[in-house]
Amino acid sequence: MTTLLKSATIIDTSSPYHKQTKDILITDGIITKIDDSITSKKEYQIVELDNLHVSNGWFDTSVSFGEPGYEERETLQHGVQVAAKSGFTDVAINPNTQPIVDNKSAVEFLINKVKGAATNIYPIGALTQQSKGVEMSEMYDMQQSGAIAFGDYNKPVSNDNLLKIALLYAQNFNALVLSFPKNNAIAGEGVANEGKNSTLLGLKGIPALAEEIQISRDLFLLEYTGGKLHIPTISTSKSVQLIKEAKKKGLDVTCSVAVHNLFLTDDELHGFDANKKVNPPLRTEQDRRTLIKGIKDGVIDMITTDHNPIDVEHKKVEFSTAKDGTIGLESAFGVLNTVLDIETIVKCLSDNPRKRFGLNNISIKENEKASLAIFNLNESYTFSEKNILSTSKNSVFLDKKLKGKVYGIYNNNQLILNS
């Protein structure tokens, strides 16, 4: 099949066509020609859309779908369709299924279930058996079967020695270890950021210290062991500073931030809307600004949706008892496009995560594989339930004004567009 993208503005700092508007011809999944104007033929699949932009396909490093075990929240087949229509050519799947992804058979199940889809999935294996934080999982076997990193989703490793051993062991096969930044002893039964709003609302607070003391511990361990550490979804100003200092020391550490922590604060909690209950929690305006600065300064390496579908039975309940989590794939670009420039968005959604998680580098050049996110930078709208593609509807962004529309992707010789 031959596909022709007409008048597409290319966003790719590694491409000679960066910020240029070109026609792009793709044959059998390979970019065969990029020119000012390419004559179309009747057998071509033509893509001609308003304010058409393309970048390297986006890679989300923290996605939960549910299957196996929680298919009512999201199946793998439907989940990758949502990801594709949201601009993501690649997603890393968290191990928080039932059973937990802590062995090679579970990894192989995920990969085989959606083989041939337009969006690629890359399993993250659990760091510990059943994500219980007691014994290390079969990391090497999982890596051989396709796992790209190891971490217990949204569960901290409280055993210091276990994380130390994992960081040492992982170096034998160059594996990336993830450590969720939360000290449960300090966070206690908290459900919201500890501060003015939690006090006013009578909600038990999660101090910023719970995150920061865990990051400090992780960085001390990394300095001792060596190895590669990724800290997902940081949320406080002090966390940014700690990671900045660690990088200056030369430690091999990266971190991500969730989209919602760049856009929303704990001021959102006044309606006790359980969709606003996320982990880590929404923090203060000062934290939000520092996180954005951390991205611009290069301290924060990547942005994730931290997409986590939760069924209505676990969200339409009292705030304090609701499950943490928000969906985020379909709203990610519209949110980020309101707070960051497009080059930074692409760097944090594509270039940096690919490099860190060991995916192949891609570029929009002739004779390269076509792996493209396709979008419109300018369209503004209010995010509503009709914009939700996921099976679960637990979006923290409902009724928020966003800017930027995703048309879809081209990847694996497949064009997927929103209808």
Catalytic (active-site) positions: 306
| Closest by Cα among 202, 207, 232, 175 to 60 | 232
Distance CA 396, CA 231 (A): 23
The Cα–Cα gap between 84 and 155 comes to: 28
Rg (CA), the chain: 21
DSSP string for residues in 198-225:
HHHHTPPEE-HHHHHHHHHHHHHHHHHH
DSSP 369: B
CA–CA separation, 282 and 195 (whole Å): 11
Whether 104 and 145 have beta carbons less than 8 Å apart is answered as yes
415: enclosing H helix or E strand? strand 414-417
Residue 406: CB partners within 8 Å, gap ≥ 6? 85, 86, 87, 330, 333, 334, 373, 374, 375, 376, 418
Q: At 336, phi and psi to the nearest 5?
A: -60, -35
H or E segment to which residue 372 belongs: strand 372-382
**What six digits make up the tokens of 79?**
């989940």
- Report whether 211 contacts 40 (CB < 8 A): no
Q: How far apart are the first and last CA of the chain?
A: 20
Contact between 355 and 361 under an 8 Å Cβ cutoff? The reply is: yes
Closest to 355 measured CA to CA, from 234, 259, 241, 230: 230
Q: CA 256, CA 324: separation in Å to the nearest integer?
A: 18
Q: Confirm if 70 and 98 have CB atoms less than 8 A apart.
A: yes
The separation between CA 347 and the C-alpha centre of its own chain, rounded to angstroms, equals 13
Please provide the DSSP assignment of 125-147 as one string: EPSBGGG-SSSB--HHHHHHHT-
Using an 8 Å Cβ cutoff, are 18 and 344 in contact? no
